[in-house]
Amino acid sequence: MARDAREKVFNGTFDGNDTAGWFAADADMATADGRLRVQVPAGRRQPFDVIVGQNDIPLERGAQYNISFTASASRPVTIRTQVQLSDEPYTATWSQDVGLDTGRQQYRYSFTSNLDTDRGQVSFQLGGSDASWTFTLDDVSLVGGEPQEAYVPDTGPPVRVNQVGYLLSGPKHATVVTNAPEPMSWKVVSSSGEMVASGRSTPRGLDASSGQRVHTIDLGTVAKPGTGYTLQFDGAQSHPFSIADSLYEPLRRDALHFFYLQRSGIPIDNALAPGYARPAGHLGVPPNRGDTSVPCQPGAGDYTLDVHGGWYDAGDHGKYVVNGGIATAQLLSQYERTKTATVVTSAALDDGSLSIPERGNRVPDILDEARWELEFLLRMQIPAGKPNAGMAHHKVHDRAWTGLPCLPDQDPQPRELHPPSTAATLNLAATAAQAARLYRPFDAAFADRCLAAARTAWQAAQDHPAMYAKSDDSTGGGPYDDTDVRDEFYWAAAELFITTGEQPYLDALRSSPYWTGDTFASGGPDWKFVAPLGRLDLATVPNRLPKGDREAAQASVRAAADRYLTTIRDQAYGVPLTENEYTWGSNSVILNKLVVIATAFDLTGEQRYRDGVLESLDYLLGRNALNHSYVTGYGTRFSHNQHSRIYAHQLDPNLPQPPPGSIAGGPNPGLEDPKAKKVLLGTALAERPKPQLCYLDDIESWSTNEVAINWNSALSWVASFAADQGRPVPHDGPKPHGEVEITMGEDHQVNVILPPGWSILVQSSGGAP
């Protein structure tokens, strides 16, 4: 039956067996059989000490409302039901004491609102009992006032461009929302009003991912650098854009600088990050209760570890080895690419390139930043003499969720080490092995420590190959569960083999299903599927794979890139996602596919791969159905309310917005948070929007609008690649291995394999080292 258009309560029937839209204060709630059940604790003196309810209820002064609900209790009790303000002074416009019994009963009341607000609350106040009991609720309805209008996003002008701009030597495409069946005229106008290009559009029909009818436009004839260009079409005008060779240099810097601002265990210096200064979090200083001596969860161990440092994972204060693993690996690979690719600006990542405390230490700043997380990952390894020694704890985070906002140094929750997992242990093995070869020229002792930890972790994972994180371990932090770790074994073996050249790791690679399997079938790398990280490095980083095997790895990268390019060509918004591929973190899915395409360019020098990467960046920076840039500080309309306890300006104007270069998760038709469900579906349970429209720039929409280190690591990698393309140079394929043979007498030789492995093998004629 259709809902009344004046209904104000979302998910009042609990038909989906979820609690979306509802909150509980000092009580545990869950759904079963289409009803909400709340376990009410004993000993709470006042009714308002225990509440279950729903916020963001719009109320109109003078309007008549009908409220109804079905409820029961495990024993006779009296509760208080209110409609009120959700924040101070919590004024109630209606209040009623209701006697409940064990039988289900429907209750109906009417009132006239004396409040005019969009921050109303329907609350059931359950405290005041000396004994615990169970509250059951269903069919909650509040009808009255004006009908709620369906949410329609403000998408601005129908002409969609990359709002940052285009490289002078790169592709330049735009998309226009229009019902015109035939090609239409367009023109590009400079900031002075001069027409610099014109042409006819290409009709593309209905775009399935957005539900919009669109045309595409090729602006390739615009060949003069400048700012303030606009594209005009049928009386409409795009947001302004630039054309410049240095277009992506600021994004390369900002996307990487994001990690400094996510650091745990260090004060953020205003001189290095103006407007983002904050005290160090989680160094054992009250009210913090971590991270210098963190106990194991009950049953996970009887010891404590110092696990300070690292990066806060996303919008919470948790630190997760598997997500930290892929983020660290991508920063290391971003640097390693400067040693293997031809079209690259190596100095862009050198010492002094970032505003971080370590600048000036003669170590590339990107390696300094990655080391901050690496040191944390190493601390998560279980020390010798303890059960499961050599394994890595899966994560460390609060015992219970904190609210928003909450700066790290103000987090009062106890911290816990969660049980070790095979996935976390192999993430440590892979990243530490990669680090061992990259840090050796700068800190040999640290490189040795990384390699030793990687070897230990590899052996521990061999001994415990099926120790999995639990999917229901999600109180106070995300579960990051994974029950298929064959990809982690492949990745770790690849990194250990590249670094050491040792046969056991090659044997492990050859026994993996991913040795010949398609590691890119589901897209690029992801925290839950890391086999592509191993394949990309085997294809690009000098190693001792036989020539045929290395060529097969390189061919698989090209084949995957070709598939993604086909998708880009088929999509009117020029993005490597089909209608069915939008998911949580869809923007990172795009970016990780672009890593694969960019690597194909590094291997071959074929312009089509370079152009595919640059065109897909257009989508992230404004050429999309919402006409919205998903990167903070970039474009005319950009995300600035991402889900974060630190960058919570939307809730507290004294706090900053997310820093420039932060990427939002992106459209997610799963709508897995209450805010997205309520706004995009509405209380009338409207038809689910098309995938590209399933996004809210709201701090409460964590399933479409969170920040995360593994999303920004992919952005950093791709932004660095794009910045390198601003001044194209002739491409001769990947850099050669650099073998040098030095004769040392009749029976000896030295074989040096240069960069980035930096390994030296000294052999006698008998083959003994």
Give the active site residues. Answer: 316, 643, 697, 706
Cβ–Cβ < 8 Å for 188, 197: yes
Which candidate, 530, 325, 308, places its Cα nearest to that of 424?
325
Task: Walk across the sheet containing 77-85 and list its strands.
Answer: 23-25, 51-59, 117-125, 77-85, 92-100
268 Cβ contact partners less than 8 Å away, ≥ 6 residues apart: 260, 261, 276, 277, 278
Q: What residues contact 351, with CB distance under 8 A and at least 6 apart?
A: 359, 360, 361, 362, 363, 364, 365
What is d(CA 540, CA 234) in angstroms, rounded to the nearest whole number?
47
Contact (Cβ atoms closer than 8 angstroms) between residue 186 and residue 201:
yes
Residue 621 CB: number of other CB atoms within 10 A? 24
Ramachandran angles phi, psi of 641, nearest 5°? -125, 35
- How distant, in Å, are the alpha carbons of 298, 319, 405, 415, 705 from that of 402? 21, 15, 8, 12, 18
Helix (H, G, I), strand (E, B) or coil at 345: coil
Count CB atoms within 10 A of the CB of residue 696: 24
3-class secondary structure per residue, 268-284: ECCCCCCCCCECCCCCC
The residues facing 198 across adjacent strands are 187
Each residue of 212-235: b (16+ CB within 10 Å) or e?
Answer: bbbbbbbbeebeeebeebbbbbee
Number of H helices, E strands in the chain: 14, 30
As given in the structure block, the two tokens for residue 263 are 């650091």
Compute the distance between CA of residue 717 and CA of residue 49 in angstroms, rounded to an integer.
49
**Number of other CB atoms surrounding residue 453 within 10 Å:** 23
Query: Which residues are CB-neighbours of 347 under 8 A, at least 6 positions away?
Result: 353
Is 557 in contact with 596 (CB distance < 8 Å)?
yes
The tokens for 348 are: 């862009």
The encoded tokens of residue 233 equal 């079409």
The DSSP-derived string for 398-413 is ESS---SS--GGG--S
Give one word for 298, left, alpha or beta, with left for phi > 0 and alpha for psi -120 to 50. beta
What distance in Å separates the CA atoms of residue 88 and residue 110, rounded to the nearest whole number?
24
Contacts by residues 207-210 (CB-CB < 8 Å, ≥ 24 positions apart): 207/571, 207/572, 207/573, 207/625, 208/579, 208/690, 209/571, 209/573, 209/575, 209/577, 209/578, 209/579, 209/582, 209/625, 209/690, 209/691, 209/692, 210/573, 210/624, 210/625, 210/690, 210/691, 210/692, 210/693
Q: Which residue has the tokens 């038709």?
A: 669
Contact 365, 352 (CB under 8 A): yes
Going by C-alpha positions, the residue among 731, 757, 656 that lies closest to residue 278 is 656
The amino acid at 269: D
Q: Which helix (H) or strand (E) holds 241?
A: strand 241-243
Q: In angstroms, how far is CA 85 from the centroid of its own chain?
A: 34
Backbone angles phi, psi at 720, to 5 degrees: -65, -40
28: Cβ–Cβ under 8 A, 6 or more apart, which residues?
A: 38, 39
- Kindly state the DSSP code that residue 347 receives in the 8-state scheme: G
